[in-house]
Amino acid sequence: MNKLAVIALGGNAISRSDQEGTIEQQEENIKETLLNIVYLIKQGYNIVITHGNGPQVGNIIMRNDAGEQLYDITQMPLDICVADSQGGIGYLIERVLRNLLRKENLHRDILTLVTQVVVDKNDPAFLNPKKRIGKYYTKAEAEVLEKEKNWELRKTPKKEGMFRRVVPSPTPISIFNRETISKIARNGTIVIAVGGGGIPVYIDDNGNLIGIEAVIDKDMASSVLAQRIKADELYILTDVPYIYLDFNKPTQRIVEYLDSADANKYLKEGQFGEGSMAPKIKAAVSFVEKGGQKSIITEATKLEDKSFGSKITLNYD
């Protein structure tokens, strides 16, 4: 049987901080990334693609904000904004990938799936929101928004004296349509799912699904999906080719191979930044500890390289 891989596209696969974020730029970024995934398709892999949505969902929220202020258009809640971003980004990835496969004379169906992900409404993350989203506000604006909208805003280190909204990032528990995703992916269809970590929903006391104001970590949601569909491999694509110890220090060194025990040890030591590499390491370790063969953290251009960036397994090979 062909191997099944979940490939999580990092933020720079779509938008980059030094760009305006035009559709043309996003399309070119996606194309550069997906060109490297074609290698795995040629190798016979069955593939599920996941992706981030940070800049895009932030822009959607700002458009909501502008629409409310200028035209009195009611703002949509965060779960709807995530769903909007899933559809738009998924469409762009699917269209670019279809064009690439056609040029390579590869024939695969591609399906973009708007995906709901269940979280616990009592997750501790709701008591300590940390994920910054949306535009920057002055202190005076932040105070008004906290009163009028019941938002929580905190100072941002990127712009002195400015504030941004923070929202919870709860742990993903379950992913809807995972059986269908597994079935059609194993039949050769490329599935795009769990965009932006998934649309956050919880199950109320009556068993109903309710949207909730939160964002889910894309890498952890990708790991949960990979576990549930029993994928063989999980690829987490980022903007660095390897995992580094002592990152940005004179003693910085590459780690090409890690087992889960050492990865957990380095996590406890604080080797990996909480806002950058740590969530990726945690997602990779969770995947291999729940039965995955291996997880690779690398940049897209390394996929065809035999070293595959940095690899995490349950035990050393």
Partner residues linked to 154 by β-bridges: 164
What are the structure tokens assigned to 23, written together? 């559709």
In the chain, the percentage of residues whose pLDDT exceeds 90 is 88
Residues 256, 260, 264, 269, CA torsion sign: negative
Catalytic residue selected from 280, 282, 302, 311: 280
Kindly report the average pLDDT of the chain as a whole number.
Answer: 94
3-state helix, strand, coil split of the chain in percent (to 5) is 40, 20, 35
**Residue 172 in contact with residue 224, Cβ under 8 Å?**
yes
pLDDT digits (tens, 9 = 90+) for 106-119: 999 999 999 999 99
pLDDT at 17 over 90: no
- Whether residue 7 contacts residue 47, with contact meaning beta carbons closer than 8 Å, is answered with yes
SS3 string, 14-37, reads CCCCCCCCCHHHHHHHHHHHHHHH
* pTM summary value: 0.95
Judge whether residue 306 has pLDDT over 70. Answer: no
Flag whether pLDDT at 157 surpasses 90.
no
Catalytic residue, from 131, 294, 302, 311: name it.
131
Tell me the pLDDT tens digit for each residue of 174-233: 999 999 999 999 999 999 999 999 999 999 999 999 999 999 999 999 999 999 999 999
Does 131 participate in catalysis according to the annotation?
Answer: yes
Contact call for residues 4 and 45 (beta carbons, < 8 A): yes
> Which ranges of 43-177 does DSSP label H, i.e. alpha helix?
54-71, 78-103, 139-149
pLDDT higher at 108 or 309:
108
Domain ranges for the chain: 4-119+177-313
- Assess whether pLDDT exceeds 70 at residue 234: yes
Q: Which of 184, 219, 216, 305 is nearest to 256 (CA)?
A: 305
Q: pLDDT value at position 212? A: 98
The residue from 12, 29, 36, 46 that is catalytic is 12
Give me the architecture of the 4-119+177-313 domain, per CATH. 3-Layer(aba) Sandwich (3.40)
Query: Which residues partner with 50 through β-bridges?
Result: 8
| Active-site residue flag, 248 | no
Q: Does the structure show a pLDDT above 80 at 11?
A: no
Catalytic residue among 53, 218, 292, 309: 218
Task: Out of 164-173, 210-219, 306-315, pick the least confident.
Answer: 306-315
For the question of residue 280 being annotated catalytic, the response is yes
Q: Which pLDDT does position 135 carry in this prediction?
A: 86
Q: What is the torsion angle, in degrees rounded to the nearest 10, for the CA atoms of residue 179, residue 185, residue 186 and residue 187?
A: 110
| pLDDT confidence bin for 317, thresholds 50/70/90 | low
Position 303 pLDDT exceeds 90: no
User: Using CA atoms in the order 229, 234, 237, 238, what is the torsion angle rounded to 10 degrees?
Assistant: 110
Element (H, E) at 191: strand 190-192
Ramachandran sector of residue 56 (left: φ over 0; alpha: ψ -120 to 50; beta: rest): alpha
Q: Which of 11, 52, 196, 197 is catalytic?
A: 11
pLDDT (average), residues 235-244 = 94
Size (the chain), residues: 317
Model pLDDT for residues 32-58, shown as the tens digit of each residue? 999 999 999 999 999 999 999 988 998
Q: How confident is the model at residue 1 (pLDDT cuts 50, 70, 90)?
A: confident
DSSP code at position 76: P
pLDDT digits (tens, 9 = 90+) for 258-272: 999 999 999 999 999
| Annotated catalytic residue 11 | yes
